[in-house]
Amino acid sequence: MQYFDCDKIQYEGPDSRNPLAFKHYNADEVIAGKSMKEHLRFAGAYWHVMRNDLSDPFGAGTAIMPWDDGSNSVENALTRVDVFFEFLEKMDIGYYCWHDRDIAPELNDLSASNDALDQVVAKLKEKQVETGVQLLWGTACLFSHPRYAQGAATSPDANVYAYAGAQVKKALEATKQLDGLGYTFWGGREGYATLLNTNMQRELDHLAAFLHMAVDHANKIGFDGPFYIEPKPREPSTHQYDSDAAACLNFLREYDLMEKFRLNIETNHATLAGHTMEHELTVAANAGMLGSIDANRGDELIGWDTDQFPTDIKLATEVMLVVLEMGGFTTGGLNFDAKRRRESHDPIDLIHAHLGGMDAFARGLKIADAIREDGRLAEFVQTRYSSFDNGIGAKVESGACSFEELEQFAMGNGEPTLSSGRQEMLENLLNEFL
Ligand code: XLS
Ligand code: NI
Ligand code: NI
């Protein structure tokens, strides 16, 4: 049975006018010593591809999903696995990500839900073996069910906390069973709506204890991939503790969790936090903590997580500049945490959407590589800081300087003459490559 009305998508080059062909993503083409496929490590998000019916807060779902019988059955869940793998193969996407409740139904009690998960995981395993597709990361959905309305690992209720722990335990074991490369924590409900009813300190301590238990369990079952924290400032909670990369790093340092954790940075979350994606990626990378990326984009006119497909070439370039600079992904990749617009309801729209994101990142990769090869941008930045390469500046960087020495230097050197920051010239330089 074929669910997507197309053949495997092929690379036809930039002159192709075929909407169902890659114009730039040429999997085996080598850029800076590695194939595009190895650089970009694209992943499909199970929740968007298979489970997003394209409903919004004002209206019902529109997505046409002829394979889905609408039931909450294991049988329906197993059918979706076939559809998803057909999709991945047609797109030549080598990785995927899931929440436990995307792949398998939540049933009447935890042990029934666990059994359902086991059945689907067994089928996913077969499909992975058959196709060579790998699990980039798994995660537990700790935000949809009403029990998590007041948080999961930050719930005021220890019963809920225990339920969440049990769910993560199982999801982690499923990830391990599928040789998952990582495991993600995104705390959609780990925050508060009002401080009037919230003990922030206890909630943060509980969250840290939860993550330490996850580390202990990973060690127990031999899961050695990293854990990722995915920052997002709000939505659905009014305030979420993992608000941005800097807040997450502070939390991980404070609670001694740096070793096992990395960050998974999502574009639309960065903008919700009032930052650019480049900013968030740079903060994470500077700390040696950039693990993976949820690739999407927001809408400048809408103030929520619109999760649009990342088709902006400049944005893809900015992302790939940071990724190349850090030497590429190790366990992480580019997960399309992105959904079609509600108007794009046909199955083939899933193909168009991912194809566009992959082509945009292929261009971003090529452009970022060209900028790095050219070297002018890096040289400008290096020169800009060159007064710290020797003399008083070098002394500051070595940590051996004092205020007395700075005063003596300033007294002897008069008013500093600043060099221009040349922002416009550098913007023009970037445009040479776009
Ligand atoms: C929601 C998040 C979510 C995580 C996985 O905004 O992006 O999809 O990636 O729980
Ligand atoms: Ni995400
Ligand atoms: Ni998101």
Instruction: Looking at the CA of 269, name the nearest ligand.
Output: 3
CA distances from 342 to 52, 56, 102, 338, 364 (A): 10, 8, 19, 12, 27
Q: Which amino acid is at 182?
A: G
Instruction: Tell me the pLDDT of the chain (434 aa) as tens digits.
Output: 799 999 999 999 999 999 999 999 999 999 999 999 999 999 999 999 999 999 999 999 999 999 999 999 999 999 999 999 999 999 999 999 999 999 999 999 999 999 999 999 999 999 999 999 999 999 999 999 999 999 999 999 999 999 999 999 999 999 999 999 999 999 999 999 999 999 999 999 999 999 999 999 999 999 999 999 999 999 999 999 999 999 999 999 999 999 999 999 999 999 999 999 999 999 999 999 999 999 999 988 888 889 999 999 999 999 999 999 999 999 999 999 999 999 999 999 999 999 999 999 999 999 999 999 999 999 999 999 999 999 999 999 999 999 999 999 999 999 999 999 999 999 999 999 99
CA distance 70 to 320: 39
> Does ligand 1 come within 6 angstroms of the Cβ of 139?
yes
Nearest CA to ligand 1 atom 2: 186
- Catalytic-role residue among 24, 39, 48, 102: 102
Residue 266 beta carbon below 6 angstroms from any ligand 1 atom:
yes
Q: What is the pLDDT of residue 123?
A: 99
Note if 24 is an active site residue.
Answer: no
Q: What domains are defined for the chain?
A: 10-374 (3.20.20.150), 390-433 (no CATH)
CB atoms within 10 A of CB 286: 13
Among this protein's residues, is 99 annotated catalytic? yes
Closest protein CA for atom 6 of ligand 1: 305
Helix (H, G, I), strand (E, B) or coil at 59: strand
Residue written as tokens 């996850």?
A: 214
Please give the distance of CA 292 from its chain centroid, rounded to a whole number.
5
Q: Which atom of ligand 1 is nearest to the CA of 266?
A: 7
232 lines ligand 1 (CB under 6 A): yes
| Cα 186 to ligand 1 centroid, rounded to whole Å | 6
Ligand 1 contact via 337 beta carbon (within 6 Å) = yes
What spacing in Å lies between the alpha carbon of 230 and ligand 2's midpoint? 7
Output the DSSP codes for 232-270. -S-SSSSEESS-SHHHHHHHHHHTT-TTTEEEEEEHHHH
SS (H, E, C) 169-233: HHHHHHHHHCCCCCEEECCCCCEECCHHHCCHHHHHHHHHHHHHHHHHHHHHHCCCCCEEECCCC
Task: State whether the beta carbon of 100 lies less than 6 angstroms from ligand 1.
Answer: no
Distance 414 CA to ligand 1 centre (A): 53
Is the minimum distance from the CB of 294 to ligand 1 under 6 angstroms? yes
Cβ(230) – ligand 1 distance below 6 Å: yes
DSSP state letter for 41 = -
Please give the radius of gyration of the chain, using alpha carbons only, rounded to the nearest integer: 23
Write the residue with the smallest CA distance to atom 3 of ligand 1. Answer: 186
H/E element holding 22?
A: strand 21-22
Catalytic residue among 39, 99, 206, 279: 99
Quote the ligand 1 centre to 202 CA distance (angstroms): 24
| 242 CB within 6 A, ligand 1 | no
Measured CA to CA, the distance from residue 138 to residue 104 in angstroms comes to 13
DSSP string, 355-382: HHHHHHHHHHHHHHHHHHHH-HHHHHHH
pTM over 0.75, yes/no: yes
Q: What are the backbone dihedrals phi and psi of residue 31, each rounded to the nearest 5 degrees, phi first? A: -125, 130
From the CA of 99, give the closest atom in ligand 1. 10
3-class secondary structure, 273: coil
The single-letter DSSP state of residue 157 is -
Give the separation between CA 245 and CA 272, rounded to whole angstroms.
12
